[in-house]
Structure 1
Amino acid sequence: MKTVSPAEVAKHKSKSDVWVIIHGKVYDLTKFLPEHPGGQKIIMKYAGRDATSAFEPIHPPDIIDRFLSPEVCMGQVDAAALDAVEKVETEEEKKLRIARENKPKLAEMYNSFDFESVAKNVLKPDAWAYYSSGSDDEISMRENHNAFHRIWLRPRVMVDVAKINMSTQMLGTKVSMPLYITATALGKLGHPDGEKVLTRAAGKRDVIQMIPTLASCSFDEIIDARTDSQTQWLQLYVNSDRAVTKKFVEHAENRGIKGLFITADAPQLGRREKDMRQKYSQEAPDEMDNETVNRDEGAARAISSFIDPSLNWKDVAWFKSITKMPIIIKGVQTPEDAVMAWRNGCAGVVLSNHGGRQLDFAPSSIEILPEVIDALKREGCDPKKDFDVYIDGGIRRGSDIFKAIALGAKGCGIGRPFLFAMSGYGDQGVERLLELYQNELEMCMRLMGAPTIADITPEMVDIRNLKDHFVSNPTDYLAKHAYEKMHPRGNLSKL
């Protein structure tokens, strides 16, 4: 392959002649520029220089080979010469560097919210927009955690709690506590090692990691980062091309994946407006009126157009025919669908509204958990033995995990908080957060008089107010700066 100098690449930085460097190779993107789903501005920002840092977190490794012809590759950049090029720090890069240099010490992180506060400052704007966004008014996203506040605890005293054992089994795997790191996309937006950070931390703390379909790292990279005894699950977005899905599932099973979690709540991606607005901030003004290419969906839409909207209950039988892995339906939001999963021979469900990123005003998982357990029991199903019920969304404290276990959940999936911990502190941050969850759950179990997971019962929680829906902020979330306030008139103004 021809070697190209950085000086030669730097000559090609206009819209009519644009070259960029990605993973050490030089590409002529002149013809592709108007068609780029992410807009022209982000490509022009890196015109004539190395774009790897912007490209890698968003795109799968093979996307260039799949979508661009070989002719656009102009050769391989001279690596030594590229290293010698003086790096010019932008204002945005300077701001992020200072934030990272001045972040609190890891020992000062006392809960999951601390990690979120740090992440907001140290992440690039597009990364923060993607990680933190919910759909529409973000009511469901906030309700996911708020719902836990409507559950109160009923502590028992005079119980021997000198020793606390929070170990349990999930899908046949013994784990240190009823928590797993759930699937979240685009890990490299937060850390160069992406999902491998989560893999390593999960292995050290003896918890399960669910691998996302839309990871920044390749599936095999994540598998190769695990320990010999580590258990991993796979979150699956079903491809419209079922041959692709079949190949992926079979490969996952051959690599030792112990559970197939089929995402069912995303036949169409929700409108994550925070992410969508960030997309416009990266476009040139003259592009915003270009209706030939749809760029208004943000990073989420750009990476997920392959998802099959025709997925239905009849497909469960097909999945059972191609794999022996236990099949779990992820994204269940009603008791009726939990029962349907049981009737169709699934091993369990994940009660989830996709972190509040799909249908706004969809119920929180903790809210529907009691009625799901009751509905399964009426079907003759014992959720403790026959069928695993997991929940995710809004779990921020060890007491949240306790409440979920008390109401019948086998375990809790946690996503965003681990992304935030990883973004600020890497491996050590994720391990620290796992330690905090463990310490909080241990304290809660001791103060509740429950020395083991089996001792946590429904009688330990008061859920009389669980169905009382309200928006935590009485002022409408998005419209609070738009409405004019009522002003008293006449004599009332003097009161």
Structure 2
Amino acid sequence: MRNFTLSEIAQHNKKDDLWIIIHGKIYDLTTFLPEHPGGQKVILKCAGKDATSAFDSHHPPDMIERFLSPDVCIGQPVMEKSHEDNANIKRQQTETDEEERIQLARKNMPSIDELYNAYDFESVAKTILSDDAWGYISSGTDDEITMRENHSAYHRIWFRPRVMVDVSKIDMTTHMLGQKASLPFYITAAAFCKTAHPNGEMALTRAAGRKDIIQMIPTYASCSFKDIVRARISSNQIQWYQLYVTRDRKATQRIVEEAEAKGMKGLFVTVDTPELGRHLKEMRINNQRDDPSEMETGEGTVSVSSFFDPSLNWSDIAWLKSITKMPILLKGVTRLEDAVLSAQHGLQGVVLSNHGGRQMDFAPSTIEILPEVMGALQREGLDKNFEVYIDGGIRRGSDIFKAIALGAKGVGIGRPFLYAMACYGERGVERLIDLFQAELTMCMRLMGAPTIADIKPDMVDIRNLKDHFVANPTDYLAKYAYERMQPRGKLSKL
């Protein structure tokens, strides 16, 4: 392996000639740059420099070895005395304004006992996360209509409670993919959890283990897969694996085989990412810091790369089934026809998901399509050994109840757990699990449903579920003129 000085490395800082340093090794990422799922900009900022800190904030140490060819590693840096002195001086500089803001916000956080629902964690997280982390976790695609609709749709479902039912004991245990689960919800996969907390996915693993709920591990975790598995509270802890199929099918097969060898109880293949959605909130946050000449003009976070295979289709199901014995489910289904096809191809289920509103804006909310999916499966006689899950927009125990009433076997919850972890680490995740459990307990008791099996479709009124009410943009010029038309002396201050 060749040695290069930092001065030599710094010369390779352009799109057509790009080197970076990660953990004491030099990587030539010129060819990979256009394929980076997070966009080119984040790599370009580190071109010719040490990118270890930026890399570690999102990726596990073995990320490059798992997904890129060994040829990208071309050498190792040799530290020159002047550069070493400069690096030491830089480390001793005062904290940035953002770091000071975050420290102050954390100092003023409320006690964890003062947080009573998922929204409380999100409110606190917004104050203590960095701008980059908040932009990444909270953003949806384009105008974020679907992201908001995912939860708003639950407001159009009303309850039809039963009375005179013995609800002195509430039992929430259920079975998902043949495994007993204490609660009918799981922590769904979310990439790069270290953006929320330094312990990333491992914190979610430990909290899920203590509370005996299922965790779905993402392909693009910020902790290594090995470390996430090691973080399990017991060998019996149930974990699922979320998979992105890449163009390199041999690499994908190795990932699947490793997941099965490590005891994963289900393989959830994400099928809604032939291209990444444009997250404008992230783009704006990134561009606020940059010189105008460096601002992105259109591509944003959109990327089609070797990390996502846009050619994935129904003929690939046979190959997936040939490389694993794990139950296989498709994650990202938003039409009844695709759910029916999944069952006809012999899969074990689907997750109705629009990627949390991060892919296609104006895709339907997942709870909206659940009744029609269940109806189609029943008409085709495919609902007996086929499980339907749902994620996106779930913020209350009552939302969980509604999804189960409409046929979901269980629900996935993502962002709320990231917010809880960002604020209070593992304790935050455990507290939120307890709150969801308490809300669901109250809902089941008031609805006259002592067990999960007692939750039936006739307990909810969905007559208005298909009605879409999307807020129109505010006409600020008209609003300003209207507010000026007030009695003298009472003009509002804009």
The bucket for the TM-score relative to the shorter chain is: 0.7 to 0.9
Conserved? CA contact 1:351–1:391, under 8 Å: yes
State yes or no: 1:71 paired with 2:75: yes
Listed as ranges, the matches of 1:9-408 within 5 Å are 23=23, 25=24, 37-39=40-42, 42-43=45-46, 52-62=52-62, 66=68, 68-74=72-78, 86-226=92-232, 227-288=234-295, 296-298=299-301, 301=303, 305-382=306-383, 385-408=384-407
Residue 301 to residue 115, structure 1, CA distance change in 2 (3 Å):
farther
Query: For the residues of structure 2 that align with 1:28 and 1:459, how far apart are their CA atoms?
Result: 59
Give a deviation string over 1:269-301, Cα, whole Å, max 9, x none.
Answer: 111111222332344333338x9xxx9433x74
Query: For the residues of structure 2 that align with 1:443 and 1:83, how far apart are their CA atoms?
Result: 57
Query: For the residues of structure 2 that align with 1:19 and 1:349, how far apart are their CA atoms?
Result: 41
Give a deviation string over 1:151-183, Cα, whole Å, max 9, x none.
Answer: 001111111111000010000111111000000
* SS of 2:444 mapped into structure 1: helix
Conserved? CA contact 1:27–1:74, under 8 Å: no
* SS of 2:240 mapped into structure 1: strand
Query: For the residues of structure 2 that align with 1:487 and 1:83, how far apart are their CA atoms?
Result: 55
Q: Which amino acid aligns with 1:451?
A: P
Q: Shift of residue 70 of structure 1?
A: 3.2
Conserved? CA contact 2:59–2:223, under 8 Å: no
Q: Shift of residue 41 of structure 1?
A: 7.8
Q: Which amino acid aligns with 2:345?
A: N
Partner in structure 1 of residue 492 of structure 2: none
Aligned residues with identical type, % of pairs: 57
TM-score, scaled to structure 2: 0.85
Give a deviation string over 1:164-214, Cα, whole Å, max 9, x none.
Answer: 000100001111110000000110001111111111111011111000111
* SS of 1:191 mapped into structure 2: coil
Conserved? CA contact 2:392–2:412, under 8 Å: yes
State the number of aligned residues.
468
Residue 404 to residue 96, structure 1, CA distance change in 2 (3 Å):
same
Residue 435 to residue 388, structure 1, CA distance change in 2 (3 Å):
same
Q: Shift of residue 68 of structure 1?
A: 4.8
Residue 30 to residue 350, structure 1, CA distance change in 2 (3 Å):
closer
Conserved? CA contact 1:19–1:26, under 8 Å: no
Query: For the residues of structure 2 that align with 1:347 and 1:69, how far apart are their CA atoms?
Result: 40
Query: For the residues of structure 2 that align with 1:74 and 1:263, how far apart are their CA atoms?
Result: 42
Q: Shift of residue 230 of structure 1?
A: 0.4
Q: Shift of residue 314 of structure 1?
A: 1.0
* SS of 1:43 mapped into structure 2: coil
Query: For the residues of structure 2 that align with 1:258 and 1:270, how far apart are their CA atoms?
Result: 29
TM-score, scaled to structure 1: 0.85
Conserved? CA contact 2:327–2:347, under 8 Å: yes
Q: Which amino acid aligns with 2:272?
A: D
Partner in structure 1 of residue 438 of structure 2: 439
Query: For the residues of structure 1 that align with 2:22 and 2:295, how far apart are their CA atoms?
Result: 26
Query: For the residues of structure 2 that align with 1:177 and 1:29, how far apart are their CA atoms?
Result: 47
Query: For the residues of structure 2 that align with 1:185 and 1:414, how far apart are their CA atoms?
Result: 13
Query: For the residues of structure 2 that align with 1:15 and 1:314, how far apart are their CA atoms?
Result: 42
CA RMSD of aligned residues (A): 3.5
* SS of 2:221 mapped into structure 1: coil
Unaligned runs of 5+ in 2: 489-494
State yes or no: 1:469 paired with 2:468: yes
Conserved? CA contact 1:26–1:74, under 8 Å: no
